[in-house]
């Protein structure tokens, strides 16, 4: 029986408070989902009558030559599904995508443990809302929701909204929902979301080559939340893809049935919100940071100076929790004056000050001078309550908390359109210059996590 097409999407994220702290289970992060989403459409692969293929084709048609073809087979000794990239018909070179390949291997391995027989061939299309990338649409009116970026995927400039986590989550959810019956996987239930979260976390960490905190995957699955990371040791016993017994270990991990390795993630959605009348606004600076290297340097500083670092982290945690409480208790902010936001402004300013202390002590540009100037200028505008360089900081998009009115957003967009970035030399002198194009993204906060979408919304992009 031919399966019907499946369409899902998962949101991006912004870690508004808890950068670096969220790596440690003693601390938490305040993460908001964003309404920029990664979309995945799965449909059976058309074949000639009587022909059975073990092939999955993955396409990202918004980018040049973004097609990956995979063959797959069930390996012996519970080693799971062996996935092999095949030479594509439409590409001149065999580029790899570790996030797609790893997520495909993990998802098919779990699926093979749940259903007997052959996993049918399928065609998968991935589409991204345009705010994930710094490229803008071509001049003229937009005719479709999604734009063609006209560049290879590896050449696209990311804005730092969590595209890899949203991709792995939506991709994994699409495969699970397409192949498994509802009694084995139902995305609308707590159990279904837990299965997706655990499988996506494992795949995303493996694709990155490290065990991350996982807040981005949590936001992609559950939406906005307060997040406490899982114990890093949880994934250490899984072993390498294709190792003997891998599929059995993966199933036990995903279904959380091994007493010695229980998922201890904390995801709290109650009380996490942006008050009515306010909104999050993201500002792209078209640069980007090497997050992994920054994290390693900060953690090295913390190890070398534990007393100083832990004292600073404890104060930051208090302010981060206070920020969440103020947002949850502010209520309807529609009719409030700027003076009503003074406490909120103060706690955001305190968080920024402490992050700059960490930046100076560790030698990591968590809030670089160009970002300080930008945030200060934006925060001085009426109706802009404050902002931060979210997550690990650096040169990714900054996050602003603003009054949700055009009288505020209009002047903000004007400031950003005219913004020139100062370049600071190593000796502290200022040189005139400009880095990238600063612009307000259309994205805002999103409370909902992964969700089903209408299959016909992607018709013009599906082959």
What confidence tens digit (pLDDT) does each residue in 87-104 have?
A: 865 444 568 899 999 999
The token duo for 387 is 């902002």
Please say if the pLDDT value at position 454 is more than 50. Answer: yes
- pLDDT value, residue 427: 46
The C-alpha atoms of residue 395 and residue 236 are separated, in whole angstroms, by 32
Average pLDDT over residues 164-188: 97
**Fold topology of 6-269+447-461:** Ribosomal Protein S5; domain 2 (3.30.230)
Give domain limits for the chain.
Answer: 6-269+447-461, 278-446
Instruction: Determine contact, residues 304/62, Cβ cutoff 8 Å.
Output: no
Give pLDDT, residue 334: 84
64-68 LR contacts (CB < 8 Å, sep 24+): 64/150, 64/151, 64/152, 64/153, 65/90, 65/91, 65/92, 65/93, 65/95, 65/152, 66/152, 66/153, 67/91, 68/95, 68/96, 68/97, 68/100, 68/101
Assign 135 a pLDDT band (cuts: 50, 70, 90). Answer: low
> Looking at residue 59, what is its pLDDT?
96
The domain 278-446 having CATH identifier 3.30.70.890: the answer here is: yes
Non-local CB neighbours of 383 within 8 Å, separated by 6+ positions: 338, 402, 403, 405, 407, 408
Q: Kindly indicate the confidence band of residue 284, based on its pLDDT and cuts at 50, 70 and 90.
A: confident
Q: What is the DSSP string of 48-60?
A: -TT----EEEEE-
Mean pLDDT in residue range 108-121? 92
- Identify the weakest region by mean pLDDT among 56-60, 176-180, 458-462: 458-462
pLDDT exceeds cutoff 90 at 315:
yes
Show Cβ contacts of residue 458 under 8 Å, excluding neighbours closer than 6 positions.
7, 39, 41, 125, 127
- The pair of structure tokens assigned to 26 is 């003693």
Greater confidence, 143 or 227? Answer: 227
- As a whole number of angstroms, the longest Cα–Cα distance in the chain is 72
Which one has a higher pLDDT value, 49 or 314? 314
Cβ contact 365:359 at 8 Å = yes
* pLDDT higher than threshold 70 for residue 12: yes
Residue 17: pLDDT band with limits 50, 70, 90: very high
Q: pLDDT tens digits for 326-363?
A: 999 888 888 788 888 999 999 999 999 999 999 999 99
Measured distance between the N- and C-terminal CA atoms of the chain, rounded to whole angstroms: 21
| 463 band by pLDDT with thresholds 50, 70 and 90 | confident
């Amino acid at each position: 029986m031919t399966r019907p097409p499946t369409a899902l999407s998962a949101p991006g994220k912004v870690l508004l408070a808890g950068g670096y702290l969220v790596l440690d289970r003693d601390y938490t992060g305040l993460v908001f989902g964003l309404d920029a989403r990664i979309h995945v459409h799965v449909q059976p692969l058309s074949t000639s009558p009587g022909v059975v293929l073990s092939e999955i084709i993955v396409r990202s048609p918004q980018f040049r030559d973004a097609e990956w073809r995979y063959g797959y087979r069930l390996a012996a000794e519970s080693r799971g599904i062996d996935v092999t990239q095949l030479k594509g018909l439409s590409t001149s070179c065999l580029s790899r995508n570790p996030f797609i390949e790893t997520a495909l291997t993990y998802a098919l391995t779990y699926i093979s443990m749940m259903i007997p027989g052959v996993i049918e061939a399928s065609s998968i299309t991935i589409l991204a809302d345009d705010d994930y990338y710094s490229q803008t649409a071509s001049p003229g009116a937009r005719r479709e929701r999604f734009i063609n970026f006209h560049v290879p995927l590896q050449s696209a400039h990311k804005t730092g909204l969590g595209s890899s986590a949203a991709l792995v989550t939506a991709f994994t959810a699409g495969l699970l929902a397409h192949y498994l019956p509802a009694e084995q996987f139902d995305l609308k239930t707590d159990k279904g979301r837990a299965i997706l979260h655990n499988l996506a976390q494992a795949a995303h960490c493996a694709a990155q080559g490290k065990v991350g905190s996982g807040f981005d995957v949590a936001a992609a699955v559950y939406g906005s939340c307060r997040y406490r990371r899982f114990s890093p040791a949880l994934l250490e016993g899984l072993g390498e893809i294709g190792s003997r017994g891998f599929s059995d270990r993966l199933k036990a991990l995903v279904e959380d049935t091994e007493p010695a390795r229980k998922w201890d993630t904390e995801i709290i959605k109650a009380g996490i919100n942006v008050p009515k009348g306010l909104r999050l606004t993201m500002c792209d600076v078209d640069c980007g940071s090497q997050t992994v290297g920054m994290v390693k340097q900060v953690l090295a500083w913390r190890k070398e100076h534990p007393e100083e670092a832990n004292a600073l982290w404890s104060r930051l945690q208090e302010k981060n929790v206070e920020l969440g409480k103020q947002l949850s208790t502010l209520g309807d902010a529609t009719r409030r004056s700027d003076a009503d936001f003074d406490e909120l402004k103060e706690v955001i300013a305190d968080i920024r000050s402490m992050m700059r202390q960490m930046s100076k002590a560790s030698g990591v540009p968590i809030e670089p001078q160009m970002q300080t100037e930008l945030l200060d200028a934006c925060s001085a505008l009426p109706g802009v309550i404050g902002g931060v360089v979210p997550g690990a900081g650096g040169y990714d998009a900054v996050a602003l908390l603003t009054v949700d009115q055009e009288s505020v957003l209009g002047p903000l967009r004007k400031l950003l359109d005219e913004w020139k970035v100062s370049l600071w030399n190593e000796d502290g002198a200022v040189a005139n210059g400009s880095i990238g194009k600063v612009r307000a993204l259309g994205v805002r906060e999103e409370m909902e996590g992964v969700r089903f979408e209408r299959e016909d919304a992607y018709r013009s992009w599906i082959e």
